[in-house]
Amino acid sequence: MDYKIGVISGDGIGPEIVKEAKKILDKTGEVYGHTFSYDEILMGGVSIDATGVPLTDGAIAQAKAANAVLMGSIGGNTTTSPWYQLPPELRPEAGLLKLRKSLNLFANLRPAYLYEELKEACPLREDIIGEGFDMMIMRELTGGLYFGKRVTEERDGVMTAEDTLTYNEHEIRRIAKRGFDIAMKRRKKVTSVDKANVLDSSRLWRKIVEEVAKEYPEVALEHMLVDNCAMQLVKDPRQFDVILTENMFGDILSDEASMVTGSIGMLSSASLNDTKFGLYEPSGGSAPDIAGKGIANPIATILSAAMLLRYSLDLDKEADAVEHAVKQVLKEGYRTIDIMPQEEEKKSSVTQVGTAEMGDLIAERI
């Protein structure tokens, strides 16, 4: 088959890591008899530089016309880059938010798990790591505070800024269903995170999640307050299977969870809508400080491409092959600099490689 992949290389290390992911897709196509054609879509800083805005209507149309979109990363250093002198709605991140909304990408899946081979990179004590952990964060991505009404204005002569956090039952129900669906394919546990002791939106969240839970009698549901969840992720990450939560809590907790694994350069994410379409991107940022040096870790992007194969194109066998090749390369001891062991003695047992070399090694093993 021929698949049309929208590609958002973006800013910072984006272009380098996306290049390797395309290399992997091409190799997978060769082996399994598919062709991938790529349509480069401008978003973020590169789009600002070229068009004056972080996302044009043409770019949205390109994304809609693709089977799926693979993204690197967008944005720059928020204190030094001139993009951040622009009004908020013209900055790089505004492009990403607009794309999520335009394509209705309400379900953000962020796996956070410990790689056996990278155990030593985990910031937690060994007895807490235990046999390792494996969670899926299901973050609502098109509602809540990030998409609410905002205003900055003088009120009685005092400068005042306001953001609004709104959720309706439909928005909560559809993401909750996704959370329970995923849990059914995993260890059948959902931890729904809210701040129901304070917020109205959280109380509605909890009510609807409980309604949805009734349709999944096999899944164990627990509720957890967001402040407690921030603690539990550090204290005992093994307790979690699926974490289901609203947009902002998900933003904070998913980043915390990926850091807790110690494998942030390895973690992919998918943003899905009601169709097969999805946007796939690594969990890490654009890392402008190391851009262009050829040292960025392409694995998270490569694994995002694997998620793309699995969720948007239904190519499970191909996705398995990519994931297996990544594991293989790690087992053989290849590491980019971010996942090198810290202790001197351990360094000699592994081989440090750059971005392109890592891509080649993985491609060879497919």
Q: Does 227 bind ligand IPM (CB under 6 A)?
A: yes
Q: How many Å apart are CA 240 and CA 225, to the nearest integer? A: 14
Q: Which is nearer to its own copies, 258 or 312 (CB)?
A: 258
Quote the DSSP letter at residue 303. Answer: H
DSSP per-residue string spanning 60-103: HHHHHHSSEEEEEE----TTT-GGGGS-GGGSHHHHHHHHHHHT
289 is catalytic: no
User: Cβ 171 to its own copies, closest distance in Å?
Assistant: 9
Which amino acid does the sequence have at 51? T
| Residue among 195, 216, 241, 280 flagged as catalytic | 195
Catalytically annotated residue among 146, 167, 280, 311: 146
- The one of ligand IPM, its own copies, none whose footprint includes residue 102, by CB under 5 to 8 A per kind, is none
Closer Cβ to ligand IPM, 220 or 248, answer by number: 248
314 is catalytic: no
Is 360 catalytic? The answer is no
Nearest to 352 by CA among 366, 365, 340: 340
CB of 42 to its own copies, least distance (A): 19
Taking the complex as a whole, the smallest distance from the CB of residue 226 to its own copies amounts, in Å, to 6
Check residue 194 for interaction with ligand IPM (CB under 6 A): no
Q: Determine contact, residues 30/40, Cβ cutoff 8 Å.
A: no
**Dist CA 140 CA 162 (whole Å):** 21
The 3-state DSSP class for residue 225 equals strand
Q: Which amino acid is at 49?
A: D
Q: How many other CB atoms are there within 10 angstroms of residue 277's CB atom?
A: 20
Of the candidates 314, 247, 273, 285, the one whose C-alpha atom is nearest the C-alpha of residue 63 is 273
312 Cβ partners below 8 Å, 6+ apart? 67, 68, 276, 277, 278, 280
The residue (of 29 and 76) whose beta carbon lies closer to ligand IPM is 76
Q: Which of 251, 267, 335, 339 binds ligand IPM (CB under 6 A)?
A: 251
Under the criterion CB under 6 A, does residue 197 sit at the interface with ligand IPM?
yes
Based on the shown chain and the rule CB under 6 A, indicate whether residue 198 belongs to the binding site for ligand IPM. Answer: yes
The mark string for 66-105 relative to ligand IPM (x by CB under 6 A, - otherwise) is ---------------------------x--xx--------
User: Least CB distance from residue 83 to ligand IPM, whole Å?
Assistant: 12
- Residues in touch with its own copies (CB under 8 A): 75, 78-79, 88, 91, 93, 97, 122-125, 127-128, 145-146, 150-152, 155, 158-170, 195-201, 203-205, 223, 225-228, 230-235, 248-249, 251-256, 258-260, 264, 342
In the residue annotation, 207 being an active-site residue is answered as no
What is the phi-psi region of residue 296: left when phi exceeds 0, alpha when psi lies from -120 to 50, beta otherwise?
beta
Could you tell me the smallest distance in angstroms from the CB atom of residue 217 to its own copies? 18
CB of 85 to ligand IPM, least distance (A): 17
**β-strands 2-10, 35-40 pairing:** parallel
The answer to whether 186 touches 136, Cβ cutoff 8 Å, is yes
Query: Of the two residues 9 and 261, which places its CB atom closer to its own copies in the complex?
Result: 261
39 is catalytic: no
Residue 167 binding result from its own copies, ligand IPM, none, given CB thresholds of 5 to 8 Å by partner type? its own copies
Q: Rounded to an integer, what distance in angstroms lies between the CA atom of residue 150 and that of residue 161?
A: 7
Q: Which is nearer to its own copies, 5 or 253 (CB)?
A: 253
Backbone angles phi, psi at 309, to 5 degrees: -60, -40
Interaction partner, residue 86 (its own copies, ligand IPM, none; CB < 5-8 Å by kind):
none
Q: Are 284 and 303 in contact (CB under 8 A)?
A: no
Smallest distance, Å, CB 107 to its own copies?
Answer: 18
One of 26, 163, 255, 338 is an active-site residue; which one? 255
Token reading at 339: 């996942």
Question: Would you count residue 348 as binding ligand IPM (CB under 6 A)?
Answer: no
Task: Name the one residue in this structure whose structure tokens are 């054609």.
Answer: 37
Enumerate binding residues for ligand IPM (CB under 6 A). 93, 96-97, 197-198, 227, 251
Which residues are catalytically annotated? 146, 195, 227, 251, 255
